[in-house]
Structure 1
Amino acid sequence: MSRPQHPIEVRRRAGVLLHPTSLPGGSGAGNLGHAAFHFIDFMADCGLSVWQVLPLGPTHEDRSPYQTTSVHAGSPELISLDLLQEWGWLEMPPAPDPADPDAWHLECLRRARSRFQRHASAADQAALREFIDSHAAWLPDFACYQAIKDTRDGEAWVDWPAPLRDREPQALEAFRAGHGEAIEQVMFEQFVFFRQWHDLRRYANERDILLFGDIPIFVAHDSADVWANREGFLLQEDGHPQVVAGVPPDYFSETGQRWGNPLYDWEQMSRSGYSWWWERIHTQRDLFDLIRIDHFRGFEAYWEIPAAAETAIAGRWVKGPGAAFFEQMLTRFGDLPLVAEDLGTIDEAVEQLRDAFHLPGMKILQFAFGSGADNPYLPHNHVPLSLVYTGTHDNDTTLGWYQSLDAAAREHLVAYLGQEATDMPRALNRTAMASVAWLSVVPLQDWLGLDGSHRMNQPGVRGGNWQWRFEWDWIDADLPGRIRELLELYGRA
């Protein structure tokens, strides 16, 4: 069974990569409020028709959207308090505490629920109940997990008292009975997040803009998903992982990368018809028009590392579920609006799996220069069923990348472009638009011409990541016109 071409892939498009936390406004980070709608207006003015974001789930202290406490839930951090006030669900809150904006934000959400209980219309009250019922596959477990975690000062579930850690029915019943308000608060926050996101998606779709999401193949060990579905993961009796995910040693790291995520028990998941994954993709389809699967190669084979190993050297390749998984998803959904993140160590088997289901892969222009003409990231090697990027959230900005190039790579870049690359990043933005790839995505930093100090994430570096934000006055008045002209030139407007 092969995946047919999805209708949204029929025409050439161009997009922008920007996580909502990078939007202006809000106390500690950007949110789904007026700035998000204004950003969609900006995109429409430019002729851009795809907004790509990172995973939207609740993050841990490091704020990485790739290590969340739920694969279904939205981050309360993204909820707009301004919209809550406009809905009549929140009175004007006190001034935020600059020392702890997160605590202030959560206090405002508690006030919003209190006012909602007293003043919300019957229709809104019914909508909340309907939301809880329709997300029964994951929401009660997540709400209980989050409430327990909050009462234990953020402690990981594997360190909870054994009855709660192991989900003994009597222990869970007793906790729910004593912490009903906290559990209902979590459910209310998810109701608000999903309502605000759906309003934003509707606004975008009305302007011919698609929302593009991201599914990390692996999940955080400290998450509601692993706690509530231990049978689907390779864990010890006490909940600690038997083996963990990562990638083998390569040119970039002599010891590889030990990510630490628990690995799936694919045999068990297969026996259940991959129901856990079906629910996961179902939630993301409800949020997005297009979805990227991060580390796609793990479905063909993944690097399994003993949990006790300190590095990835002792790992081994283990076969993943392969075509059987995607056949099941295709049978369930009828179509798969998925993109394969096929970067890194990719072999023929991974490419065959990607191509068998007609999934677009990714081409990164920052990886293209400094080697031979057979480099798959060079534009003359692109194929229509692919996405081209100047760089991703894990790369330096294109200007920062260009400024750090060695002499050989810079010489190759200049020779390939046929001109001095003094107009960076515009020269690479133009190259991305000219590609035959169906979709061209440029990070906002590159549309704005920003240097490496505006980088979103630096893999392998602790601290300082995921915090970048822009300001409206960084956007020149003539930028939308310049972008639209470029998109029209290459048939992407």
Structure 2
Amino acid sequence: MKISFNIDYETVFGEEILLNVVERVKNVKDKLSQFRMNNVHGKHWWYDLNKSASSQNSVIDYFYSIDCDGNEKRHEWLTQPHRLEISADKGKSYKVFDHWIDIPEDSYLYSSAFTECVNKRKLSTPLPSNFSRTLRLIVRAPQLRDNKSLAVVGKDTSLGAWDVFKAIPMCEHNYNEWVVDIDASTLKYNKLEFKFAAIDNDDNQNTLWETGLNREINLVDIADGDVAVYYLDQAFFEIPDLKLAGTLVPVFSLRSDASFGIGDFGDLKKAIDWIAATNQRVLQVLPINDTTITHTWTDSYPYSCISIFALHPQYADLTLLPKIKDAQKSSEFESLRIQLNSLAQIDYEKVNDAKLKYLQEIYLQEGKHIFNSAEFKKFFAEAESWLVPYAQYCCLRDKYATADFSKWNGHSAWNENDRKALSTPGSKEYKEVEFFYFVQYILNSQMESVHKYARSKGVVLKGDIPIGVNRNGCDVWMEPKYFNLNGQAGAPPDDFSVNGQNWGFPTYNWDEMIKDDCAWWVHRFQNMNKFFDAYRIDHVLGFFRIWEIPVDAVHGLLGQFSPALGLTREEIEAYGLHFNEEHFTKPFISDWILDRVFKEHAGEVKDKYLNHSHDDIWVMKPEYDTQRKVEAAFEGKTSDIDTWVRDGLYSLISNVLFVRDHKDYNKFHPRISAQFDFTYEALYDGDKEIFNRIYNDYFYRRNNQFWYREAIKKLPKLVQATRMLVCAEDLGMVPDCVPWVMNELKILSLELQSMPKDPHVRFGHLSRNPYRSVCTISSHDMPTLRQWWDEDIERTQAYYNSMLYRGGAAPHPLPGWLARDIISRHLTSPSMLCILSIQDWLSIDEKLRLADQNAERINIPANPKHYWRYRMHVKIEDLINNIDFKENITELINQSGRK
């Protein structure tokens, strides 16, 4: 059988088009076969592919790419390639006429969030036709809702003679892609004139015609045994864009009658019921990966995962496990459950200790049976690549009572040679780690069940992918080549933290990751696809450049963007600023600074922490010359004066105008927010003006194209690795290149009215939100709506008058009716998704919400050791049964036009 692929594409000199045929191999990376195409004048390209008789009734997925001197210059959209069903019956040959497919503007409609949850339709395989001569039409129509199907109708009597009731129904053989085979021998004309129609499956009188002029095709000669395949441009219909509403709530914050002191995967199912009952369609959670480092409350930080694959044991729904047979132990656990579940906040240590003990009991009681099950064996085979190292990591962490793997005798790095013994049931090594296999099997099974349940309810589960991993975690231990351990990831100063944020994560060695096409990230996204249909990329700016802080720093002020184009001395001086390296790159400490920072304690500080240099200039003593040394010196000292002195010393150390490049000693970066520090204050006015020009050029212009290229090396591979809906957290110091890339890849942005992206306005105008965006009021890192309202009275008054168009004084605290008005305005924004925190939803009901608004805060980013323990004060069952609250939310959503 011969398949002739044809595509019109105008190349430039040196470019060639390749045909890429994808062979789907289960549980293995797809196999790709490439074929160099022939061309006429670099405009029309073709390739004749011969398929053997063994390829009968098979499916070919393929895409086109541009090759230039052996390097791929670009390729088509990979999320959904072309699809061709072939049949070897009657010795048919296929002539395929394609067009190039870039990422479509409405690529979100191909995401599993829409195809599996919102616009769910069943795919089918087209039946092989018995026509002697066949015309096949293939077209994409992603706008169709779940109750519509596609048909073709045209001028020819074989196409219904424009009678839509005689239209030929089409088959949806791929997501949003429809195909139909037509008997070419019955066509009267060589020029085919037709249109597509959307048929309402519930009411065939309610038919929509595609927009635009009639379609026309000048058909090629179709001989006996031929199939002519035309891949047509997308069909558009006058169907409004869908807008969805949803809720953000961390899994750990959920509360139900059956909870064990913390939200779990069982509670997540109940939350899905509440979402569906209120006409919402999206449930967003925070990361659910294992974060266990110390077995203490400091592990409560959900963005510091120890494994990008393993789920946290605290989320196990114990009610789904077999009962503990020992009646006394069972009773003791139940008493403890009731006690922990009654707490206002999570007791992280007691909850995790209790859950692990409970899982140990079930493991000893049921483990042998579970390990022999076909379900466990299937899970182990699929997860073995990450599961085995993770289990050994956990075992060694507990054995040595530390996650610092440099202290694990003989195990400071994962040894692939250990895999066989650890994977062999019955071996001593397997026995040592099998409990961790058991726990992950339970967690994965439960979370996959939650995902399936959400889809059955039409609810989109949205996950969260943290930008970093714990530097003492399993991922770093297993594949250290992917990480830079001599730096710390964080964020520059912003509304959340004036000193920047230091997350402590290692930064990524992107050069090493790009060598294998970002396989580590691709596997991470694909694993997440088992549990979610949408995801939030935490700190998407990190894929352009990360804020890298020296390991000896505590605050983020001494960081620099990495990678970034540092400035040479010559470049700095070309602006007109004489580069005094000693003065600009080392802490500037003078008497007047010390008096201003430490006031009456300046003398004590000089005596204990400083050495005199010259005149009125001082330098830090060697034992205190880094922020980490100062931190160690003040360990355990918690008085107000100690904290004040410590923070003052931190500020002295960061009082520099430029920081030296981490990799190139002869390049420099303007220190972030230097204009608010003493070293800038000491400059002459003319030098301040020059520095400002250097600063603005560096941060907002110099690196734009460079950072764009960096992101394009990584993000396209990741967003096309799955069909999950891609959303990004793009807040902070956003360079111009970020919206370029997000628009190119059709990634949804995050829009907050209180943090507008337009620097010329104080508050964002909700009506200007782009459709491809997520609109919200507050995130887990921010004060809730009620807290924000009382945080700054002047700001609130300005918002009340200018955004809510209300006169007089703004009421405090925020009344429920006004919270409802604010939420209503957000729901009516153009954003595709409007996702509000559970606290903000509750703010509209004064009888239901917490009296103490400050008890609703989830995280305080300025505090790197914040205890993440917020828990809903109301049970999910009570929310479901609260008719007034449920109707209040449903009415808001229905009035806004959201589905």
Q: By the TM > 0.5 criterion, same fold?
A: yes
1:30-429 paired onto structure 2 within 5 Å: 30-33=263-266, 35-60=267-292, 61=296, 62=298, 63-85=300-322, 93-96=330-333, 97=336, 100-120=350-370, 125-161=373-409, 163-168=410-415, 178-234=428-484, 241-250=485-494, 253-319=497-563, 321-329=710-718, 332-333=721-722, 335=723, 337-367=725-755, 374=761, 377-419=764-806, 422=815, 423-429=817-823
Q: 8 Å contact 1:213–1:291 — kept in the other structure?
A: yes
2-structure distance, mates of 1:159, 1:424: 56
Q: 8 Å contact 2:265–2:446 — kept in the other structure?
A: yes
TM-score, normalised via structure 2 length: 0.50
State the Cα distance separating 1:413 from its structure 2 match: 3.0
Range that drifts further, 10-19 or 291-300: 10-19
Report SS of the residue matched to 2:332: coil
The C-alpha deviation readout for 1:447-469, integer Å capped at 9, x for no partner, is 11142321111222334423323
**1:89–1:190: structure 2 CA closer, same or farther, 3 Å change rule?**
farther
Match of 1:491 in 2: 897
2:709 aligned with 1:478: no
1-structure distance, mates of 2:721, 2:786: 44
The C-alpha deviation readout for 1:31-59, integer Å capped at 9, x for no partner, is 112x3322222111100110000000112
2-structure distance, mates of 1:456, 1:166: 35
**1:343–1:117: structure 2 CA closer, same or farther, 3 Å change rule?**
same
**For residue 14 of structure 1, what is the amino acid of its counterpart?**
A
Q: 8 Å contact 1:387–1:439 — kept in the other structure?
A: yes
**1:308–1:373: structure 2 CA closer, same or farther, 3 Å change rule?**
closer
State the Cα distance separating 1:350 from its structure 2 match: 1.3
Q: Root-mean-square deviation (CA), in Å?
A: 2.8
1-structure distance, mates of 2:437, 2:369: 18
The C-alpha deviation readout for 1:190-236, integer Å capped at 9, x for no partner, is 111111111111111111101000001111112111110101112xx
Instruction: List alignment gaps of at least 5 residues for structure 1.
Output: 235-240
2-structure distance, mates of 1:394, 1:20: 16
Match of 1:237 in 2: none
1-structure distance, mates of 2:450, 2:498: 44
2:259 aligned with 1:26: yes
Q: 8 Å contact 1:294–1:340 — kept in the other structure?
A: yes
The C-alpha deviation readout for 1:379-411, integer Å capped at 9, x for no partner, is 133110100011111111211211223223322
Higher relative contact order (CA 8 A, sep 6+): 1
State the Cα distance separating 1:330 from its structure 2 match: 5.1
Report SS of the residue matched to 1:338: strand
Match of 1:457 in 2: 859
Q: 8 Å contact 1:89–1:113 — kept in the other structure?
A: no
The C-alpha deviation readout for 1:319-352, integer Å capped at 9, x for no partner, is 364112123235644x452111101111111111
Q: 8 Å contact 2:507–2:546 — kept in the other structure?
A: no
Q: 8 Å contact 2:543–2:715 — kept in the other structure?
A: no
State the Cα distance separating 1:107 from its structure 2 match: 1.5
**Structure richer in helix, relative to its length:** 1
The C-alpha deviation readout for 1:61-101, integer Å capped at 9, x for no partner, is 32111011111111110001111137x99987342356833
**For residue 6 of structure 1, what is the amino acid of its counterpart?**
Y
The C-alpha deviation readout for 1:224-250, integer Å capped at 9, x for no partner, is 11110101112xxxxxx1112112245
**1:300–1:89: structure 2 CA closer, same or farther, 3 Å change rule?**
farther
Instruction: List alignment gaps of at least 5 residues for structure 2.
Output: 1-76, 78-101, 115-240, 341-348, 564-706, 844-848
The C-alpha deviation readout for 1:178-201, integer Å capped at 9, x for no partner, is 553341111111111111111111
**For residue 536 of structure 2, what is the amino acid of its counterpart?**
R
Report SS of the residue matched to 1:317: strand
**1:169–1:480: structure 2 CA closer, same or farther, 3 Å change rule?**
closer
1-structure distance, mates of 2:837, 2:458: 19
**For residue 302 of structure 2, what is the amino acid of its counterpart?**
P
**For residue 313 of structure 1, what is the amino acid of its counterpart?**
L
The C-alpha deviation readout for 1:145-185, integer Å capped at 9, x for no partner, is 11111112243223323x21133567888999655334111
1-structure distance, mates of 2:269, 2:749: 29
State the Cα distance separating 1:276 from its structure 2 match: 0.6
2-structure distance, mates of 1:428, 1:225: 43
Match of 1:238 in 2: none
TM-score, normalised via structure 1 length: 0.89
Report SS of the residue matched to 1:106: helix
1-structure distance, mates of 2:364, 2:268: 26
Q: 8 Å contact 2:525–2:721 — kept in the other structure?
A: no
2-structure distance, mates of 1:126, 1:381: 53
1-structure distance, mates of 2:784, 2:721: 39
